[in-house]
């Protein structure tokens, strides 16, 4: 399996995990780009040969693959401003931005290299369990991205931009919204002076049961039972925060409608 020279553009959560993982898989990280030298140095210090780069002129770089791992709003600006060597491959790691975001770059070839996982700098990730979603209009580039992804994880999928958008939306519901619901639960417990730890076994069991049985079969609670008296009592309790009360009402009604 081929090994590549790779430059990483960005120093956020994805770059923090992806750069060392690529190096551990045998690839060479040539540069870490950031306008903030200190942030780039933090990643470079984890690597063997990478250098800090603070401008987007990569014309003399030895990298073959350039990975844009920045916020969605910054991808187009980076792609428009980057200067790349001939025959270079430019990819981004976004779940929601389409392939054509890279259309106006100087890259010979473009693609998507999206790791479907929630990344935080403070928490290790088992990269070999992360699904990688790939896309390119060029078949040779796609084969290159497959080799690159499979050097990290066996879970690689070719997914077009329109389908990746749907998948990203589903991921927001499954991950981001679930996390926010737990955050609301923490606030309810804290407001009453209760220990959030009491809920942890319930949360773990619910997630395990949902993955085993499927979400519809695993649904419990007053909404699925149609217990309107309990729902009303809960809604009244939450009136100290109109927004949270409205979330409770809308989600409960959606559970009722879905069953």
Question: How far, CA to CA in Å, does 232 sit from each of 124, 226, 236, 258?
Answer: 42, 11, 6, 19
Q: How many CB atoms lie within 10 A of CB 54?
A: 11
Which two tokens mark 72? 């969605």
pLDDT at 21 over 90: yes
Residues 236/207, Cβ–Cβ less than 8 Å: no
Residues 51/61, Cβ–Cβ less than 8 Å: no
| pLDDT for the residue numbered 24 | 97
List beta partners, residue 132: 115, 156
pLDDT at 2 over 90: no
Which two tokens mark 37? 């030298």
Predicted model pTM: 0.89
Residue-wise pLDDT tens digits, 215-253 = 999 999 999 999 999 999 999 999 999 999 999 999 999
Domain annotation for the chain: domains and CATH numbers: 5-159 (3.40.50.720), 165-258 (1.10.1040.20)
Residue-wise pLDDT tens digits, 144-191 = 999 999 999 999 999 999 999 999 999 999 999 999 999 999 999 999
Residues 32/53, Cβ–Cβ less than 8 Å: yes
Mean pLDDT of 104-125: 94
């Amino acid at each position: 399996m081929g090994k590549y020279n790779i430059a990483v553009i960005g120093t956020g959560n994805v770059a923090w995990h992806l750069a060392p993982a690529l190096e551990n898989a045998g690839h060479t990280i040539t540069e870490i780009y950031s306008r903030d030298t200190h942030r780039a140095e933090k990643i470079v210090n984890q690597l063997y040969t990478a250098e800090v780069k603070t401008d987007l002129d990569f014309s003399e770089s030895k990298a073959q693959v350039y990975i844009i791992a920045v916020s969605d709003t910054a991808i187009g600006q980076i792609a428009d401003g980057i200067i790349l060597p001939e025959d270079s491959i430019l990819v981004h790691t976004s779940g929601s931005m389409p392939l054509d975001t890279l259309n106006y770059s100087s890259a010979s070839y473009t693609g998507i290299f999206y790791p479907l996982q929630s990344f935080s700098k403070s928490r290790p990730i088992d990269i070999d369990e992360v699904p990688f979603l790939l896309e390119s209009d060029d078949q040779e580039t796609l084969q290159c991205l497959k080799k690159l992804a499979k050097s990290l994880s066996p879970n690689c999928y070719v997914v077009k931009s329109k389908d990746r958008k749907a998948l990203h939306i589903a991921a927001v519901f499954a991950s981001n919204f679930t996390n926010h619901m737990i955050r609301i639960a923490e606030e309810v417990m804290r407001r009453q002076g209760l220990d959030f730890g009491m809920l942890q076994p319930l949360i773990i069991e619910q997630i395990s049961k949902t993955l085993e049985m499927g979400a519809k079969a695993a649904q419990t609670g007053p909404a699925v039972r149609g217990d309107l008296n309990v729902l009303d009592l809960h809604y009244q309790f939450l009136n100290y925060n109109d927004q949270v009360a409205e979330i409770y009402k809308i989600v409960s009604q959606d559970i009722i409608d879905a069953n």
